[in-house]
Structure 1
Amino acid sequence: MQRRSFLVTASSFALSQLLVGCGGRNQETLKVSLLNGSIPGQVVGKFRKSLQGGVNLNFSAVAQLKSSYKNLQTWHSRINGKKDEGWLSSLPFGPWRPLPVADLVTLGDYWLAAAIEQQLIQPLDVSEIKEWSNLDRKWQELVKRNDKGLADSKGKIWAAPYRWGSTVIVYNRDKFKDFDWKPQDWKDLWRPELRSRVSLLNQSREAIGLTLKKIGKSYNTQKLSEVPQLESELRALNKQVKLYSSDRYIEPLIIGDTWIGVGWSSDVLPLIARYPQLTVVIPSSGTALWADLWVHPTNKNTNKTNLFYKWIDFCLQKDIAKQISLLTKTNSPINLKISADDISQPLNKILTDNSSTLEKSEFLLPLPKEAAQEYDSLFAKIKS
């Protein structure tokens, strides 16, 4: 259930199979590699109907965002004349047939800087995207980077966001019946009642970041050694943690082994209807944000179609953006008018009231190598 590692479902498999090859061989083709579960099948169907003339659509789903990033690396290697390496190249039942290069790929903002620096993707021409102006400046700035992948107000546009979410607190409401308080912010994770009852994401940027937020600092603080109380706060938090996991933090909450956890909204929100004892809150002091983006792979041999711009533009239309948001239970980078009647009550506050979340929260921006190593080193030290 990890947000960065979605499981492939039967419905998504069926979607990819139905849409591959819709059209003749001589027709213009659009190849899109998307994150499984991030685009509803109805949306792809509407896009196909909106196109004039015959177009061959090839939409395929990948199970993990990390797989998308690895595909970009593989395609780039082939373009530069490097042979495929690894066990797949020596399979006994014949040569491995690599995935064709896609025109558009889902990539998480976490991988954007590396993809730019390694020249795995190429900039977008936003003049081809009619709906681009509907994006708030915050989203335009997120994908405006220099050639090293770092934020730059004068940089190029390297991606188009189509949905976003946040790191949230999720707790088992049954375990808090006898308390006169309910979890609202990061500081609640340190309460003595929760000793050995917390599940925490097994990622240094998330664990250290929420601790920095608790003491009034930024998620993107670079010199951790200059925050004197940080290590003691982390040690105190470590005593509260029963489980560090980025993909199995929901199960312990459901069975009551842990009472409260930290997770990604796209993991948690789809489960609320099935497990009504779970409650989700966005920490009042702010949290970490993530975004799923469309990127255009670098490919010297690609067909020269610009159909992918039509797809990006389609996803940013308000009625389509609303459908993506509601059906995938994520937020939209487009300012939408979503009423309480559109969403079940437990999800209402998470998906409709976004302004305060955005104002107080931060994206996990790329850090200099030394700073990233300091995060990992401190996290390992605390857990040991």
Structure 2
Amino acid sequence: MVKRRTVLWGCLGLAIASCRPQTSFPLRIKFLARSLPSRVLKVFDQTTPTQFEASTSLLDIYRQLQWWQSRKAPLPPLWRRWFPAAPAEAVADTYRVDTNLVTLGDPWLDHAIRQKLIQPLSEFAPLESLPEPWQRLLRRDRQGQSTAKGDLLWAVPYRTQGLMIAYQKSFFQRTKPIHKWADLWRPELAGRIAMPNHPRLAMAIALKALGYSANDEAALVQDDVKEQLLALYRQVRVFDSQAHLKALVNEDVWLTVGWSDDVLETLVRYRRLGAVYPEEGTVLTSDLWVSPINADLTEDAQAWLKFCWQPDIATQISIASKGSLSPLFFSPGVSAPEQLPEAMATLPQDGEVLLPLLPALQTELVNFISDDAHP
């Protein structure tokens, strides 16, 4: 028979155990799956125990940021509500996020700043060597507007991709090969093209095809640019940010525009496909480290940012990613690893950082395209 005293001691033991601190990590990082090799994570974890959580989608991470921002702090315990706290002990009305850093794609950065989903980072010396367009990408005011100097640092990049054209090899054995952005307007390719549903990308391609910078906002009002953009939209059969490569694999289209990381990974599985960086030059996008609003910006978090920019680690990230390159190798005088394919090694010379448009211009662009699609 179980004695009452035995039960009481058992309950007391459980109560004591529940009060002991649970296993915790000084650093928590949520990152895009397959964007970092596992050996890089293991090396850092040996010196700084870290909880790494992989997410399969940048969109899912962005929604996680929105959910964290919308949460309120939990109600204080009942005893604290009975006894009013002193001012120094007042309970915060915001939810403390226990994840220190997350991956964010650069197209989301200005939205995340405006919606107050993230907070500024501490200054990061290695970024100072990157050319001016990078500074405008990473430094923004509190409304998300790009600035080259001053203001606030909101993100640190850790891998960068270029925009490519992938194509069915067999189809282009019977016709002129694909070499440049201007080829997308060839009459025989009408209805044979897929690309992400991203008006800013379409505008960048139209600008590059006409010899402008992808960030030339003054050119947006010119008639030749507008006509080129509308003509591109009429050429495209599939606008889908998730399924544009699938349309190519299924032979629904002859070619697609996509980011190098996705394209080159697809080429490994489907040898009947080819890809090219257009002669006019490509545009770049980056995966960034950002800190959620109300998260702790600890020394360990800063150590992780520096770790990703160590030359040997940056090399491992670049080689493992196949279609991505560490931003370290975009710094003047820093050579890309010899193990990279030639197309990736030349990316720093041929790539242009894609900057966000002013909100008014972005709205005008979307309305312009919509008006043409629905006259």
Q: TM-score range by the shorter chain?
A: 0.7 to 0.9
Cα deviation, residue 236, structure 1: 3.1
Q: Quick check: 1:164 aligned with 2:160?
A: yes
Map residues 1-384 of structure 1 onto 2, 5 A cutoff.
Answer: 25=22, 28-51=25-48, 55=49, 57-79=50-72, 101-126=98-123, 131-132=126-127, 135=130, 138-152=133-147, 153-179=149-175, 181-222=176-217, 226-299=221-294, 302=295, 305-329=298-322, 330-335=324-329, 337-338=335-336, 342-343=339-340, 348-358=341-351, 361-368=352-359, 370-384=360-374
Q: How many residues align?
A: 329
Are the aligned partners of 2:69 and 2:293 in contact in 1 as well (CA < 8 Å)? yes
Instruction: Tell me the distance in 2 between the aligned counterparts of 1:182 and 1:278.
Output: 13
Cα deviation, residue 215, structure 1: 1.9
Distance 1:174 1:242, change over 3 A: same
TM-score normalised to structure 1 length = 0.77
Cα deviation, residue 317, structure 1: 0.6
Cα deviation, residue 259, structure 1: 1.2
In structure 1, stretches of 5+ residues that fail to align are 1-23, 83-97
Distance 1:40 1:285, change over 3 A: same
Instruction: Tell me the distance in 2 between the aligned counterparts of 1:139 and 1:225.
Output: 22
Distance 1:111 1:242, change over 3 A: closer
- Could you tell me which amino acid in structure 2 is paired with residue 380 of structure 1? S
Distance 1:304 1:148, change over 3 A: closer
Kindly provide the CA deviation profile for residues 77-122 of structure 1, in whole angstroms up to 9, marking residues without a partner as x.
325789xxxxxxxxxxxxxxx9953101111111212222333222
Distance 1:74 1:81, change over 3 A: farther
Cα deviation, residue 45, structure 1: 0.6
Instruction: Tell me the distance in 1 between the aligned counterparts of 2:207 and 2:121.
Output: 35
Instruction: Tell me the distance in 1 between the aligned counterparts of 2:107 and 2:297.
Output: 28
Partner of 1:21: none
Cα deviation, residue 162, structure 1: 0.4
Distance 1:266 1:381, change over 3 A: farther
The sequence identity of aligned pairs, in percent, is 33
Instruction: Tell me the distance in 2 between the aligned counterparts of 1:132 and 1:349.
Output: 25
Instruction: Tell me the distance in 1 between the aligned counterparts of 2:275 and 2:316.
Output: 22
Instruction: Tell me the distance in 2 between the aligned counterparts of 1:297 and 1:291.
Output: 18
Kindly provide the CA deviation profile for residues 36-73 of structure 1, in whole angstroms up to 9, marking residues without a partner as x.
2211211111111234xxx3x21112222222222222
Instruction: Tell me the distance in 2 between the aligned counterparts of 1:34 and 1:58.
Output: 11
Are the aligned partners of 2:32 and 2:57 in contact in 1 as well (CA < 8 Å)? yes
* Deviating 4+ runs (over 6 angstroms): none
* Structure with larger Rg: 2
Instruction: Tell me the distance in 2 between the aligned counterparts of 1:27 and 1:64.
Output: 26
Kindly provide the CA deviation profile for residues 214-264 of structure 1, in whole angstroms up to 9, marking residues without a partner as x.
223343454677311234323433443222222112233224331111112
Distance 1:79 1:160, change over 3 A: farther
Are the aligned partners of 2:163 and 2:260 in contact in 1 as well (CA < 8 Å)? yes
Instruction: Tell me the distance in 2 between the aligned counterparts of 1:363 and 1:99.
Output: 33
TM-score normalised to structure 2 length = 0.79
In structure 2, stretches of 5+ residues that fail to align are 1-20, 76-94
